[in-house]
Structure 1
Amino acid sequence: MTTTSFTEIADLAAPRLTPEMRAMCERIGRHDQYAAIDPERLMTEAAELTGLDDFGPDWFRTPLEVLCRALHEEGDLSPLGALTQRLQIQRLLCARLRVERFIKDHPDIDRPRGEPPIVIAGLPRSGTTFLHNLLAADPGVRALSAEEAEGPPEPAAAPAGDPALAAQRRLLDENLPLMKMMIDIDDGSTVEELSLLGLSFSSILFEIQGAPLPTYGAWFLSTDQTPAYEYLARVLRVLHWQRGGGPWVLKTIQHMAQLRPLTNAFPGATVVCTHRDPGAVVPSMSTLMAYGQRLSTRTVDPVRTAGYWTERVLGMVERCMRDRAGLEERQIVDVPFLRIRDDTDGVLDEIYARAGLPLTEPARTAMATVRANRHPHRHGRIRYDPAALGLDLDRIRERSAEYRARFAVPAES
């Protein structure tokens, strides 16, 4: 039996970047990237780039304004981070314009159809990515492709072998070498729908890409997200019309705190809630978030980041328990993290039985290949240091005791 070694992140608070990356950041910093993060300017640019002007339902405008203001006031964005956010928002606006044009050209698309999806709605770091990759391997279901991650692909999208994309990937790998130990980002990983929710600019996507955004997060949690989820369903109908396939398999950590909007927009969905000890989730999630900030923010503050994500994770479990009261238990599958590891076949059987779908031999064979090739710790493991993050794990477990008792989640050492 082999033993997986642990790696320490020595430069979490004081990142060491390659000379090539530092030189690129210096070049980008010669221009004011922040100035371009303006809602009206970005919408005008998107319209000019696409030649389109119909953004669809106006609900997205408020979250876009809240997001841009938070990025200016709280984002602490580096020049590279500001450029990345500006280009991302511009891409999302362009994708939204293409969605609306596609529906206008094919009005029969915009009607609910097909089988209800399977939606994984679990805590971060609770096995959701592994489970998503397993389910998406089934040829009888439909998962997002990388090209669809921000809506209908652009007509002139860069080919997979584009040298610029390869260079970008190399730079990221060189400056975030330990990222693959914390999250499954290899080629072939299943894509989640965070960016599709980002088409409404109401998505946890923007919070996980940089420093904490307290005002944006507060707006997000205090606002009914049903319109954003309804727009997600609208975009998925477009993508399904384009490429067909079986029922969707969806997943993102945001869903756990949004069960009511989720089930409003996807009636009949089978919701798979994965559960794990928040005392194990928070150090892992906080380290991942702080590590990723080295390219997007001017400074990295692991303690502040850990405090922010402590409240977000505990808020997820509280909202999950609150919202379960109004849902039909027959459409929910509760799966503790350790069961995904120790009883994978039983978990899959239960999900398919609850969804009323056949778990075919081709599906089992494809899933077995994923299990053989995508072991969660195949690249190694990170040693998380709660003390360096300013975390009180006893306090986190005390605050989550009701949640852990309800879903039979043991404390992890």
Structure 2
Amino acid sequence: MTWRPPRRTEVAEQIYTEAAKDRAENPHRYRFDAQRVVERACRRGEYTPEQFAPGWADGLDAFLGSADQDGRLNALGIRMALQSATGRLLAGARIAQCRAARRDLCDAALPPPIVIIGGWRTGTTFLFRLLGTDPRLRAPLPAELVSPWLFIEPFRPDPTEVSATASQLLHTLNPDMAIVHPSGPSLPEECVLAMGTDLRNWGFTSMMRLPGYAEWLAAQDFTGSYARYREALQLLARHDDRRFVLKAPAHTAELDHLIETFPGLVVVQIHRNIVATLTSGASLFAVYRSTYSDDVDAFEVGRQQVTQSELWFRRALQVRDRTPTHAATFVDIDYRDLVSSPKTALQHVYSAAGMTPPEDLDALVDEYNRANPRDGKGQHRYTPEEFGLIPEQIRERFAFLD
């Protein structure tokens, strides 16, 4: 069986064609020029480069360089990469500006969050959004993560309206994205949307082919990146002191920085059959990348999944082995148990978090499933062979997880 990119609709094809035409007519707009990105960010926010997050220059060079040399991006992909870089620089400056003008924002208390980690496609989104239906917990929405400064005042905008246009465009370009990872302005989303104001963000590697950038990231110190993520959450906590429930597979790679930034947190790690994890993750990445590239090599995506996942899991094991019990509470959940008995999984999480479970957990789960049917947008189908993955070799390579 051969993996094929999702078929584009007529509307999507028109958007891609217009973007390609614009690139041909205005090539200067599509150059990975760091100076132009900086100038654009400064103009949009009336900032100077000194106001961007510390470390931004190295991050910008690494990200743009890899996107240019490795990305194989189409015109829309180049736009997205440049806009992402500009947006992250602006976010860093705006958060710093808010904190400088409002010292009270710097002191906002954050109860130790519940953070869900694990490999891609291991049920992290399901558990995260399920917990987010508990009114005592807060699972941030996309707009809140991308632009937290918009929500520091009592009379703040509706976050679902802020991100509605971008979400609609994304699903117009690639409807299959809703199958591999349901998303939208009203659905809580991953922490990576708020991270990377210094252009250090593992989330970028899911959307684009960035091997050079991924290699660079693996050697970076994320201490500052996580400190600034905490600052973003403090803005959101200004008028809402609920305990955060957060989620990102990328935290698996930086577990030491996560624990250092949020002492006393509860880390919920979900474990799934490694062959299924890597195969499903490869399918996810391939679909994502097909939005921004017309040249996606499924076998290469599979190889990247193996390499990246091994790095992340080995790092997480090392951190867990040396983390004292007072620094973090760990909860391990098997994917099969999560699927067969979400109620039991929730009970484990609430116990670790020192919280009394809702009175009727069955009703909470049933209501969530009614509102979010598992295959409501279509069924996600994949096989290891599509991505050049050999189950026996994978099981042997990842035997350290057993």
TM-score between the two structures when normalised by the length of structure 2? 0.89
In 1: Cα distance, 2:336 partner to 2:160 partner: 36
In 2: Cα distance, 1:173 partner to 1:56 partner: 31
Does 2:34 match 1:11?
no
- For the residue of structure 2 that corresponds to 1:258, the secondary structure is helix
The percentage of aligned residue pairs carrying the same residue is: 24
Does 2:389 match 1:391?
yes
Q: What letter is aligned with 2:105?
A: I
- For the residue of structure 2 that corresponds to 1:372, the secondary structure is helix
Instruction: Give the unaligned 5+ runs of structure 2.
Output: none
Structure 2 CA distance for partners of 1:108 and 1:174, relative to 1, 3 Å? closer
Does 2:33 match 1:38?
yes
Instruction: Give the unaligned 5+ runs of structure 1.
Output: 1-7, 406-413
**CA-based RMSD:** 2.7
Cα contact 1:271–1:331 (8 A) shared by 2: yes
Structure 2 CA distance for partners of 1:34 and 1:71, relative to 1, 3 Å? farther
**Matching residue within 105, 108, 128 for 2:101:** 105
In 2: Cα distance, 1:322 partner to 1:273 partner: 14
Structure 2 CA distance for partners of 1:146 and 1:362, relative to 1, 3 Å? farther
**Matching residue within 236, 239, 247 for 1:239:** 236
In 2: Cα distance, 1:238 partner to 1:171 partner: 28
Match of 2:203 in 1: 205
In 2: Cα distance, 1:179 partner to 1:63 partner: 27
- For the residue of structure 1 that corresponds to 2:243, the secondary structure is coil
Q: Structure 1 residue 184: deviation in Å?
A: 2.2
**Matching residue within 333, 338, 359 for 1:361:** 359
Cα contact 2:141–2:159 (8 A) shared by 1: no
Moved more, 23-32 or 138-147: 23-32
In 2: Cα distance, 1:199 partner to 1:367 partner: 35
Match of 1:188 in 2: 186
In 2: Cα distance, 1:92 partner to 1:392 partner: 38
Paired residues, number: 391
Match of 1:47 in 2: 42
Match of 1:116 in 2: 112
Match of 2:73 in 1: 77
**Matching residue within 290, 304, 309 for 1:308:** 304
What's the CA shift string for 1:345-365, capped at 9, x where partnerless? 121111111111232338875
Cα contact 2:198–2:225 (8 A) shared by 1: yes
Q: What letter is aligned with 2:331?
A: V
In 2: Cα distance, 1:356 partner to 1:121 partner: 19
Does 2:52 match 1:59?
no
In 2: Cα distance, 1:320 partner to 1:236 partner: 23
Cα contact 1:46–1:91 (8 A) shared by 2: yes
**1:278-289, aligned counterparts within 5 Å?**
278-289=274-285
Q: Structure 1 residue 334: deviation in Å?
A: 0.7
What's the CA shift string for 1:230-282, capped at 9, x where partnerless? 111111111211x3131111100001121101101111111111111221111
Does 2:61 match 1:68?
no
- For the residue of structure 2 that corresponds to 1:121, the secondary structure is strand
Match of 2:176 in 1: 178
Cα contact 2:110–2:241 (8 A) shared by 1: no
Moved more, 391-400 or 60-69: 60-69
Match of 1:411 in 2: none
Match of 2:124 in 1: 128
What's the CA shift string for 1:86-118, capped at 9, x where partnerless? 112212222222111110111132236231111
Cα contact 1:278–1:313 (8 A) shared by 2: no
Q: What letter is aligned with 1:67?
A: F
Match of 2:324 in 1: 328
Q: Structure 1 residue 175: deviation in Å?
A: 4.5
Q: Structure 1 residue 159: deviation in Å?
A: 8.4
Q: What letter is aligned with 1:44?
A: E
Higher relative contact order, structure no. (Cα contacts within 8 Å, ≥ 6 residues apart):
1
In 2: Cα distance, 1:158 partner to 1:344 partner: 30
Q: What letter is aligned with 1:45?
A: R
TM-score between the two structures when normalised by the length of structure 1? 0.86
Match of 1:408 in 2: none
Q: Structure 1 residue 366: deviation in Å?
A: 4.5
Q: What letter is aligned with 2:4?
A: D
Cα contact 1:138–1:367 (8 A) shared by 2: no
In 2: Cα distance, 1:16 partner to 1:240 partner: 42
Cα contact 2:190–2:248 (8 A) shared by 1: yes
Cα contact 1:135–1:367 (8 A) shared by 2: no
In 1: Cα distance, 2:164 partner to 2:341 partner: 39
- For the residue of structure 2 that corresponds to 1:138, the secondary structure is coil
Q: What letter is aligned with 1:343?
A: S
Cα contact 2:195–2:225 (8 A) shared by 1: yes
In 2: Cα distance, 1:90 partner to 1:141 partner: 32
Moved more, 275-284 or 37-46: 37-46
Structure with the larger helix share: 2
Does 2:132 match 1:141?
no
Cα contact 2:120–2:281 (8 A) shared by 1: yes
Structure 2 CA distance for partners of 1:237 and 1:379, relative to 1, 3 Å? same
Cα contact 1:139–1:363 (8 A) shared by 2: no
Moved more, 333-342 or 149-158: 149-158
In 1: Cα distance, 2:111 partner to 2:104 partner: 17
In 1: Cα distance, 2:296 partner to 2:19 partner: 19
Q: Structure 1 residue 67: deviation in Å?
A: 0.7
Match of 1:4 in 2: none
Cα contact 1:349–1:359 (8 A) shared by 2: yes
Q: What letter is aligned with 1:46?
A: A
Match of 1:262 in 2: 258
Q: What letter is aligned with 1:23?
A: Q
Cα contact 1:202–1:225 (8 A) shared by 2: yes
In 1: Cα distance, 2:52 partner to 2:159 partner: 29
